[in-house]
Structures are given as structure tokens and as C-alpha cells.
């Protein structure tokens, strides 16, 4: 149900340890090219509406599956089985682990800060923060990964032309960002002018440059 693919750094220097990005879904070519100096583990799930959703919700359209809410189970496998294997086998810097994703993958990544502590930075691109109850969950739940740096990018036109709850996407993203900021999370939040599926090349390029600067550039942690 889950396929794990590891991209290694283009050049491995003896004695050097490298950052790792955990990425939900297939790794876009733009990110692969920009992040050639680090390890990237991409996870393709055949049941992404289950693995990337935090709790069960019925389908909101006839052509989509219900959300099974198996993110906790997925994260246990990712962080407690796969990640230790990688840390044992490869020269990965355990202090420079990032986690991110697009859409539901971005939702799962942000949800992880309430459950897991391995990532020092989380990146969400067009995270599905319209997910019923997610903003309220963020407001009432203690953050376990309180020192994590969080990067959220959403679009002002997300949700246009869609039924509820997708129609609330842009407003929900702003609310989630406000809640997390009030909780003291080190947060960068930005909104572009795209809809949910638009401008992906530009979005991935910006995200890749941001991740590279955070983990591989001159100001990397």
C-alpha cells in the first residue's frame, strides 16, 4: 500500500552527514533537481485519503473515497520504522530532518507536529486545512514538536468553484496559520494567487529553494 523511494545526494563525501526530507507522494522533478544535495524519502500511498487524513470523515463527493483517518498509523511506520532504518544505514544528520507534502500530504505533515518530534522543519504546500475539524483540533491540542519550524504556502483561489468543505480552503489556511502562530510556533505563512492545482512548477521551485536554503545553504541549521 505504501511505496518508499529514496533519492541519495548527488555526491557523498566521506565523514559528512546530510539532511533528510520526508515527502508525502511522488517526488516532483523540480524538487528532485533542487534537492540533489540531500537525502529525500518519498512515500507513495495507494490509499492516500486514508494515510494522509487525521481522523475518519465521509466523502464529500460521489467520485472520491471516504477519509479513513489513518495518519497516526502511517506516521508510526514512517517515523518509528522507516526513519530509524535510514539513520542506521545512511550518513543522515538526525538534527536536520524535514517533513512535507502537497494537499493532503501537507495536511498530514502539519498534523505530525502534534504527534511526532523527529522533524526540525515542516513544509506544507496547499495543505488541505479545510479538513473538517482540523482548525479546532489545532486550537485545542498541545503541540509536541514545539521547536519545529513551520512553512505554509497556500493559494487565495483554492476552493473556488468547489462545494463545502473545499470552498473554505483559503480561509481555513489563514485560520490554521493564525492559531499556530498564537501557540508560539516558528511559522512562515504565505498566500499566492493560484488555485489548488495551478502554478505547480512555480510553487515547487519556490518550495525547493526554501528547503535548500534551510538545510543546504549558507544559513543552514
**What pTM value is reported for the model?**
0.95
User: Which alpha helices (DSSP H) does 9-133 contain, by range?
Assistant: 29-34, 48-51, 71-77, 83-89, 104-111
Domain residue spans of the chain:
2-215
The CATH class that applies to domain 2-215 reads: alpha beta
Considering the chain, what is the average pLDDT of its residues?
Answer: 94
Q: How confident is the model at residue 34 (pLDDT cuts 50, 70, 90)?
A: very high
For 109-157, the pLDDT digits (tens) are 999 999 999 999 999 999 999 999 999 999 999 999 999 999 999 999 9
Nine cell digits for residue 143: 503541540
Nine cell digits for residue 85: 532504518
The number of C-alpha atoms within 13 Å of 220 and in the hemisphere containing its C-beta is 19
Amino acid at each position: 500500500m505504501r511505496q518508499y523511494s529514496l533519492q541519495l545526494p548527488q555526491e557523498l563525501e566521506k565523514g559528512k552527514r546530510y539532511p533528510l526530507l520526508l515527502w508525502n507522494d511522488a517526488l516532483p522533478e523540480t524538487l528532485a533537481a533542487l534537492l540533489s544535495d540531500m537525502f529525500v524519502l518519498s512515500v507513495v500511498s495507494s490509499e492516500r485519503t486514508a494515510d494522509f487524513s487525521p481522523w475518519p470523515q465521509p466523502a464529500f463527493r460521489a467520485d472520491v473515497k471516504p477519509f479513513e483517518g489513518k495518519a497516526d498509523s502511517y506516521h508510526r511506520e514512517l517515523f518509528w520504522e522507516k526513519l530509524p532504518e535510514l539513520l542506521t544505514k545512511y550518513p543522515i544528520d538526525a538534527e536536520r530532518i524535514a517533513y512535507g507534502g502537497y494537499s493532503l500530504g501537507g495536511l498530514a505533515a502539519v498534523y505530525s507536529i502534534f504527534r511526532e518530534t523527529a522533524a526540525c522543519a515542516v513544509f506544507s504546500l496547499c495543505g488541505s486545512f479545510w479538513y473538517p475539524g482540523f482548525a479546532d483540533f489545532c486550537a485545542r491540542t498541545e503541540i509536541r514538536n514545539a521547536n519545529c519550524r513551520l512553512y505554509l504556502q497556500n493559494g487565495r483561489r483554492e476552493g473556488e468553484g468547489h462545494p463545502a468543505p473545499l470552498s473554505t480552503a483559503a480561509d481555513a489556511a489563514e485560520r490554521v496559520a493564525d492559531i499556530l502562530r498564537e501557540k508560539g510556533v516558528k511559522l512562515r505563512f504565505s498566500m499566492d494567487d493560484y488555485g489548488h492545482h495551478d502554478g505547480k512548477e512555480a510553487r515547487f521551485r519556490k518550495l525547493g529553494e526554501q528547503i535548500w536554503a534551510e538545510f543546504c545553504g549558507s544559513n543552514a541549521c
